[in-house]
Structures are given as structure tokens and as C-alpha cells.
Chains A and B, each alone.
Chain A
Amino acid sequence: MHINRRQFFKVCAATVSGSSLATLGFSPANALAEVREFKLTRATETRNTCPYCSVGCGLLIYSLGDNSKNAPAEIIHIEGDPDHPVNRGTLCPKGAGLLDFVHSPNRLNYPEYRAPGSKEWQRITWNEAFSRIAALMKEDRDAHFIAQNDKGQTVNRWISTGFLAASASSNETGYLTQKIARSLGMLAFDNQARV
């Protein structure tokens, strides 16, 4: 079956991650004509969206490793998605450097804690983090929750703890965060759109 690259991607679009088809021997004819296989042909291709500005450029992320227990995926390359109607395969200088964001040495790896007056971080477990944060939040909420204002009106608000939400997190994260914040009675609640 002869198909070109563009048709190939259209077929692949029917699946979440198209290159499983490639592993079945179903790949564009011109790729098979290569003398030496590109590393990318062995990579898993995943569709994503650039996390920087709001153009929402389509990305293709390439990773090696088949995600089996001993072969976790390692992202090796990111480029613009040629099928995307807005960016049509292009990326700007920021998008072109995305691989270095993913692999930045400044990525955080573990939950950390800085004690009052301390000059350093200490590594803690997630359980320790959740327990201590939850205890601090509950203590503050219980002490300062305003059920009624001085006119006796029901107001049910908690304004002594605030929350700033991410502007690059997904809708799903944002929705969950909104639900949680309001269930706690939070009003000191904003996202990056404010600034």
C-alpha cells in the first residue's frame, strides 16, 4: 500500500498515537526508501500542544523506549505538527527549545520543605507534604472561616488563605482546582489572566 506522509498522518490521526501502525510495517513508502533508518522512525510520536503562548501550536513529540517496565519513554525530539491548521509545522524560538524545558536541570524532582528561618530545603515524602499542608490549611480555615458577616448575612467565605492557579495547566486541572477552591470557600483566588 503506497501512501504519502500526509495521508499517513491522516490515517494515524484515527489513533491516539499513530506510530503503532509503523511498528506493524505500515509506514510511508518514502520512509522505507531510506538507506539508513532515521532514529525518529523508531520513535513513538505523540501529539501535543505548545505550553507557551496562546497560539496553541500543534507539536509532535518523539520518544524512545516502548514504555515497558524497563524501557520508560525518553523524549528525544519535539517539532511542529505539519497537519496543524495554525502553525503548519512551524515553531518559534521558544517552541523550538521545548526539549530543553522538558529536560531542564531545574525541573523539580521531589517534594521539598523549608522550615521557618531555615536556609535550606529538605526532601520530604508526598505523604508528609500532603499531611502538613492539609493540617495548616484546615487549621487556618477553621480559625478564620466567615460563615456570616457583621450584618448577619450568610457569606461562607475563607479569605485568610489564597490561591493562584496556573495559566499553562490544562482545563481538567483548572476545573478540578476551581471545584476544590470554591468548596473550601476560597475567594482570594486568581489566575495569571489577572496580570
Chain B
Amino acid sequence: MTNHWVDIKNADLILIMGGNAAEAHPCGFKWVTEAKAHRGAKLIVVDPRFTRSASVADVYAPLRAGTDIAFLGGVINYLLANDRINHEYVKNYTDFTFMVKDDFGFDDGLFTGYDAEKRSYAKTSWGYQIGPDGYVVTDPTLANPRCVYRMLKAHYARYTPEMVATICGTPKEDFLKICGMIAEAAAPDKAMTVMYALGWTQHSQGSQMIRTAAMVQLLLGNIGVAGGGMNALRGHSNIQGLTDLGLLSNLLPGYMTLPGDGEQDYQAYLGTRALKPLRPGQLSYWQNYGKFFVSTMKAWFGDAATAENNWCYHWLPKLDKGYDILQVFENMHQGTVNGYICQGFNPLASAPCKVKVAGALARLKYLVVIDPLATETSEFWQNHGEYNDVDPTAIQTEVFRLPSTCFAEEDGSLVNSGRWLQWHWKAADPPAEAKSDQAIMAGIFLTIRELYRKNGGAFPEPILNLTWKHRQPEEPSPEELAREFSGTALKDQTDPKDPAKVLLKAGQQLNGFAELKDDGSTACGCWIFSGCWSEKGNLMARRDNADPYGIGQTLNWAFAWPANRRILYNRASCTPDGKPFDPKRPLIAWNGAAGAWTGSDIPDYSAVSPPANGMGPFIMNPEGVARFFALDKMAEGPFPEHYEPFESPLAANPLHPNNGKARANPAARVFKGDWASFGSAEEFPQVCTTYRLTEHFHFWTKHAILDAILQPEQFVELGEDLARKKGIRAGDSVRVRSKRGFIVAVAVVTKRIRTLEIAGRKVHTVGVPIHWGFMGMAKNGYITNTLTPFVGDANTQTPEFKSFLVAIEKV
């Protein structure tokens, strides 16, 4: 979230799309209710299903699963065509005036540089025009057809209300009503918030759906303001924290990235990441990349990391490509992966195309499962009848199952969706011999380390030199680890203005990332968390819920990254001369007397840079402003374009009916063998989407008796038209088939899933909740991901769980 849960109360308009907060995030959704009750806020819900969020909405509109870019592109077209945008904001805080390279273009669904063979783009033309001074060329008159504003307007002019209705199936009058409501939020004193979740990420073009919504928010001037923002409602309690800490194939802590094979030179590695400003007077905060990187390497490798060895740069693995979960299961399927460790992760249930995942696991030499609960993955080799019909004697994988603690049995911090690091405390010992995750990781690592110390082996240096300063080496404490990622001075830190003055002594905790150095004198395991455990103590454990400004910031409750800032980009809540756009909801403002930005929040900005300096609010971008034109940052193009899901009821993309290459995402990766696993609309005519119920959390809560009682048995949902057509009545047992397998479940026939009129024909949607499996206290069921396709978003590789094709029949 750019903002946070409580801030939703400051919104005038709430758009829930690509998510269902009322059921998936009930206690956060309360703040929507608060905004409606006390601010008179309006709620819009756009979803293939009439969800519980929709049931309390002022306006609900249906759309076909996977068509959100078409809908939101239509909103952009409406706002630009009717000139309902925040002019002062877009002109000063976005790239509206920036000039795009002359050789960049877009032709019938494809951007310049497409290579159909590789399914990827050469992105050299996807850039700004750079002048002789090294800065981006701009056109403040916005008249030049190559400026971003004109190009944006031209790109989305095709997304007419009629086109939206054709692609999405959303009735034109519903769509226009929603556009009118959204346009109201362009007023400087009105704010719309956007709340989304896996309903956007789990598509082959999910990242671009989110970008399109962010572009709507920029047009309205709603990023950086109270009650606004782009608010990702993360799925799990610490998915935000694990992402922040970089536990993804290509990441290092704090959104630093691992080098690629070609990056053999350390300085060149830094150069492409520590970007110089692209406009005069801009902060371009990533210029400090070297300080973050060196401090992380000092935290990991201690004295072994020196200036001479480039802080152990070559000790880090380099990427020849991404090894996301789909790539790894593909490799496992091909037989090139021997071992796999699942720590609190149940991929047999969570990853797409169960038949492929199960087959891949069976090719492993060893599998280690670390979990508090008995998961399906840990028993992939066991015969569980129709739900897991395998022959154990034919599976040669060695499997280890290690019991870990659960939340109630440990100390530590979790990062919620609002970027708050909140500390929690242990209430009881774990059952029997269960150990903490730290102890389990330490047990495995220290045993490996001892083997390398005794026997040597491949490249032992990073293993032997990994810092391990724990009072109990076999059980590193949460306190020690938190202090390590927050950061420590390794040498005395002196005042730059007065070298005789020692600000921090060696060994003391740093106050924040502003104190990090690239000379090896500071260590910090995760720069964006820096300061969460300072000499003031554990700030994540703070419990003062006071809200002195009444705007919900509670700055002394826990710790928010970065630097306890609660609303990102909050400089953008003020006009260029430093006054709040909305004086009734000020976050920060320029305080001339103090010579600083002050207010209810910590400035996400240089706190002492006066408005006259012209520094932009988007300090992480070298331009200082937000981008409509995404440069080369996205796989499929600088402007989002609607493509069909890989499995779609339509034979062509209505925007590009004659270009087969532009039907589905042209830059999405599809493994060779998987093309044959996609079904056609002739064989599988129904659109299918998967989702969660409010009574269950993924595949865990079926192990808890209360939740198992609330939702004991697997079911699927279908609309009345389809039920009538197929002769299915509520309570019947039905089989839902995709090209990849089938599930059998009880049918729920509902008015909540409508039949849509798409490109002149009727399209039905089948809804499948995800929670069942062959372990737990609920009635056993089929793993929903038996049905889903093995293809992901072109940028993130997040699987397309939300839109694919099935057939349904009565058993």
C-alpha cells in the first residue's frame, strides 16, 4: 500500500477492483465502512462476481475475468476526453511534458522492437528524448504529439465505452456512471483510493492492470494524498516483509537486485542502479545504492567484505535468467532440480497445474518441508484416493518433514500491507519437539558449514564467512536478527561538519538509512527497515495509538518503512509551492519559519528542500516525477494494452482482430510443452476464476476445527443461466474440467454470477474457491489448482489463476 489501512477513512471514493476486501481482509475493510459512514464516501466495486464487497457498494458493475485493462483504459480515455484531471498535479508531478523518442511506436497491438520468436521486446526505442545537457527534453505547452500527454491520449482513444462493453461485457451505462463518479475525484480536495489484491496480480497481464489503475490515480492527482493511493492488499501476514527482505529469485534486501551474468564489473553494476537525475534539481534517491549495498554486504560477510574485494561482490550468485517458482517447477519437470526446501509454503496446493507440479516433485531426489502443519506438499507421494491418486512405491523422493513453531510460539516482527513492522511476543512453547524457523535454518546451515570446514567443497568462502554473531549459535534470536537488519555502526560515526564530534559509537544502532556509508563503516541487513531498532530501542514494539491530528497516522504505533513514513510520496499532497491541495486533510506542508516540511506524517522527501528548489515528489525516480510512460521497465510495453487471457472465449483480441500475435500477452513466457496444455473455447466454453472465502485462509484453516465447521465442503459457483442450460440444480455434484484435469464438487447456483454479453455472444463464468485438499479437518476435496494454467504475468510470473477456461457438467 502507498497508504495504509486506517487512512482509507480519509477517502471520498473507494474503488475495489481486482480484490474483495470485505471477505479477504474483513478487519481492514472496516475502514471502508468508516469512510462511508462518517465521510459520506462512495464505494464502487467492479468484479466478475457480486461479492460481499459489492453487496455494500453504491455501484457495482460486472466485467469478464481478465479484462481490467480494457475497463481502466476506458476510464483513462473518459478522463482525458472530458478533461477531468488534476492539471496542476499532472503537469508538475508526472512525465506529461516529457518527450518520447521518435523511433518509438505502436502498431496493431505491438510496440516497436518485438521479436515473436523470443516472445520479448528489444526496448531501445522505449525512452525519453535526452537533450545535450543530459536531461529529458520537455514540452511545457503539451502541444507536441511526441509528449507523453499527447501519446497517452492517442493510445487510449481506442478504449471507447463501446469497446469496453464489447471486451468486458460491462453495460455501457454502468461503465459511464462509474467514470462520472471517478472523475469527481479529480478535484484537488477529493480523494479516491484503489484497493486491489490477487484479482489483479494473478493474470498474464496483472502488472499492467495495476499500472493502468495507478495511471488513473495519477490523472486524478490521488497518489501521495490522504485517502488516496494505490493500495495492494497483500495476501499473507508477512508477504510484504519477505518481499521487502528480497526473498525472490532476483532480489536483495530493500529492492536491490542481484547482478546478471554480464555484470562482471562492480562499478558498472552500481552505475546502472545508482541513477543520476534525469531532470535538474532532482534527488534520485537510488544514487545512494552503493551505501545500501555495501552495508548489506558488511552485515552478511563482516570483516571478509573489504573495499579491495568489492565488498564480496562476486560471492553473490549471478542470474542468467529468473528462477521464479514456475521456472523452477519447469526445471524440476525437466529433471534438472534435485532438491527442494519448502518453508511454510505448500506448492502442491498453491502452484498452478497440479499434475505438472506433482510430477515434478516426484523427480526430486530430496524434499524438505518445514511447517507447523501437515501439508499436502509433504504428502505428495502418499495415496489419498481420488484426491491424490499416486503410487508411493514408484516415487523415489526422500522426504523430510520438520515441525516448526506458529505465530503464538515466537517473538518477531511482521510487515502488514500498510508497511508497518509490528513486533509480536511468544505466548507459549511449541508442541513436543517443534523448533523455531530460526533454529531449523541454523541447524541445517551450521551442519553444512561444519562439513565445508572439515571437508572443503565447492566455493566454501561465503558459507564459512557468513556472519553469525549469535549468543546461541544454534538458535539465533529474533532480537539479534532485527538489530542486524536495522543496522549498526562498525566504526565511530562523526559529524561531517565537526569531525571531533562523535554522533554514534562503534557498535551502536543506527537511526536510519540516511546514516549508511559505502566505506564499510556501517552494517545494515535491509536498508529500508533501517532505524526500526535504534538506540531508542525496538520501535516495532511501540504501542502508542495516539492520533494527534485526527487523520489516522499514529506515528508512535510500531514502525513503518521507510523512516516511519506512513503515506508514500506525501510531498505530492501539496501544490508546487508547498501548500496542501486539500487544506482539510493536510499530511505535510512547507513551514517557512522552521525551514522544513512538517505535519502529521514524516515527509517522504528531503525534509529541508524548499518548494522553490523544484524537487519532484517521486524521489526514487531519477526524473523526480511519476511515469505514465514506463520506459523499459515493463515487459510488454510502456503503456498498458489489453490482451486476452491465454485461455479466452474470444478467438481474437477485439482491439486487434487481425493480429494473432496481439491476442494474448505477446511478452508472456510460455514453456514449450505448456502450449499443448491450453484449452480452446470450443472444448472449454466457460470462463473460470478462483478465489478465497471469508471463512478460510488458503490451505491452513481447514486444519482448524472452527473454520472447518464454517465451510466444511468444497463447492463451485455458477450463474442461473448456465445452471439451467446444463440442467444443474443447487446441491448437485458437478465436474469442472479444464485441459489440465478436473475437480468434482457441490454446485451452488447463484444470482451473484451474471451472464455477460461479450462481442455479441453470451459468456458464463464459473467460480471455484481454493481452500480444499486432502489434508486437514474439513471434508477432503480436490486441489483447485488441478485446473489452472501454467503461465504467468510477463513481469512477475505470477500465475494466471484468475481467468482460464473450463467445462462444467452434472456428475
A170 — which chain B residues lie within 8 A by C-beta? 238, 241, 410-414, 437, 478
In the complex, the answer to whether B543 meets A83 with C-beta atoms within 8 Å is: yes
What's the A-B contact tally at a CB cutoff of 8 Å? 490
B441 touches A177 (CB 8 A): yes
Contacts A163-B343, A164-B345; is A174 near B338 (CB within 8 Å)?
A: no
B705 within 8 A of A: yes
Q: A85-B557, A86-B28, A160-B338 are in contact. Are A189 and B248 (CB under 8 A)?
A: yes
Q: Which of A86, A97, A115, A172 has the most CB of B within 10 A?
A: A172
- Name B329-354 residues within 8 Å CB distance of A: 331-332, 336-345, 347, 350-352
Per-residue 0/1 for B427-445: is the Cβ within 8 Å of any A Cβ (1 yes, 0 no)? 1110111111110011111
Cβ < 8 Å to A, chain B residues 21-43:
24-28, 30-31
Binary per-residue interface labels of chain B (392-404) against chain A in the complex, 1 for a CB within 8 Å, 0 otherwise: 1111111111111
Tell me if B656 is interfacial: C-beta within 8 Å of chain A.
no
* A26 at the B interface (CB under 8 A): no
Contact A164 B323, beta carbon cutoff 8 Å: no
Give A159-180 as 1s and 0s: 1 = Cβ < 8 Å from B's Cβ atoms: 1111111111111111111111
The interface residues of chain B lying within 8 Å CB-to-CB of A191 are 239, 242-243, 247-248, 345
Chain B residue numbers with a CB within 8 Å of A140 are 338-339, 365
Determine if B372 and A108 form an interchain contact, defined as CB atoms under 8 angstroms apart. yes
- Out of B26, B342, B444, B543, which one reaches A164, CB within 8 Å? B342
Q: Do A165 and B344 have beta carbons less than 8 Å apart?
A: yes
Contact A144 B338 (CB under 8 A): yes
Given A101-B703, A195-B350: A52 in contact with B697 (beta carbons within 8 A): yes
CB contact list, A99-148 vs B, under 8 A: 99-102, 104-119, 121, 126, 129-138, 140-142, 144-145, 147
Contact B710 A93 (CB under 8 A): yes
Query: Which parts of A27-85 form the interface with B (CB within 8 Å)?
Result: 44, 46-59, 61, 63, 72-75, 78, 80, 83-85
Q: How far is A145 from B484 in the complex, measured between Cα atoms in Å?
A: 29
Pick the most buried of A86, A135, A149, A158: most chain B CB atoms within 10 A of its CB.
Answer: A86
Judge whether B529 is part of the interface by a CB distance below 8 angstroms.
yes
Q: Mark B308-340, 1 if CB is under 8 A from A, else 0.
A: 000000111111100111011001100011111
Nearest residue, chain B, Cβ from A64:
B428
A189/B247 contact (C-beta < 8 A), A168-B407, A177-B441 known: yes
Within 8 A of B (CB), among A1-37: 13, 16-17
> In the complex, A179→B524 CA distance in Å?
12
**Are A184 and B463 neighbours in the complex by a CB distance under 8 Å?**
yes
Given A13-B543, A49-B424, A183-B466, CB of A138 within 8 Å of CB of B345: no
Instruction: Determine the interface band of chain B, counting residues with CB < 8 A from chain A.
Output: 35 or more
Q: From residue B71, how far is it (CB to closest CB) to chain A in Å?
A: 24
User: Most chain-A CB neighbours within 10 Å: which of B248, B327, B328, B541?
Assistant: B328
> If the complex has contacts A116-B397, A178-B245, are A54 and B382 also in contact, measured as CB distance less than 8 A?
no
A11–B482 Cα distance when bound, in Å, is: 25
- Chain B's closest residue to A123 (CB) is B433
C-alpha spacing A100/B706, complex, angstroms: 7
Main secondary structure of the interface of A (DSSP, over half): mixed
B694 located at the interface, meaning its Cβ lies under 8 Å from any Cβ of chain A in the complex: yes
Which candidate, B107-115, B128-136, B447-455, B661-669, is the interface stretch facing chain A?
Answer: B447-455
Q: Does B371 contact A (CB under 8 A)?
A: yes
Report the nearest B residue to A147, measured CB to CB.
B459
Asked if B447 and A178 sit within 8 Å, CB to CB, the answer is: no
B366 touches A164 (CB 8 A): no
Within 8 A of A (CB), among B676-700: 694-697, 700
B710 / chain A contacts, CB cutoff of 8 Å: 93, 97
Set A52, A85, A153, A194: member contacting B6, Cβ < 8 A? A85
Contact of B27 among A95, A104, A142, A154 (CB under 8 A): A95
Contacting residues, chain B, for A154 (C-beta < 8 A): 264, 314, 318
Whether B433 contacts A106 by the Cβ 8 Å rule is no
Whether B242 lies near A186 (C-beta < 8 A) is no
Asked whether, in the complex, the Cβ of B777 is within 8 Å of the Cβ of A165, the reply is: no
A21 CB → nearest B CB, Å: 15
In whole angstroms, what is the CA distance A184 to B325 when docked?
18
Q: Which of A86, A131, A142 contacts B5 (CB 8 A)?
A: A86
Residues of A within 8 A of B436 (CB): 173
The answer to whether A85 and B339 have CB atoms under 8 Å apart is no
- In contact, B706 and A96 (Cβ under 8 angstroms): yes
Stretch at the interface among B497-505, B754-762, B792-800: B792-800
User: Closest CB-CB distance, A146 to chain B, in whole Å?
Assistant: 9
In the bound complex, residues from chain A placing their C-beta under 8 Å from that of B775 are 106
> Complex Cα distance A53/B459, Å?
40
- 16 pairs, A vs B, C-beta closer than 8 Å: A46-B427, A55-B5, A87-B30, A94-B695, A112-B400, A153-B262, A153-B264, A159-B323, A167-B237, A168-B237, A171-B414, A171-B481, A175-B481, A180-B441, A183-B463, A192-B239
Interface residues of A (CB under 8 A from B): 13, 16-17, 44, 46-59, 61, 63, 72-75, 78, 80, 83-88, 90-102, 104-119, 121, 126, 129-138, 140-142, 144-145, 147, 149, 151, 153-195
For the complex with contacts A84-B545, A117-B394, A149-B320, 10 further pairs of A-B residues with Cβ separation under 8 Å are A61-B427, A86-B31, A92-B694, A101-B703, A119-B392, A159-B323, A164-B343, A190-B324, A195-B350, A195-B801
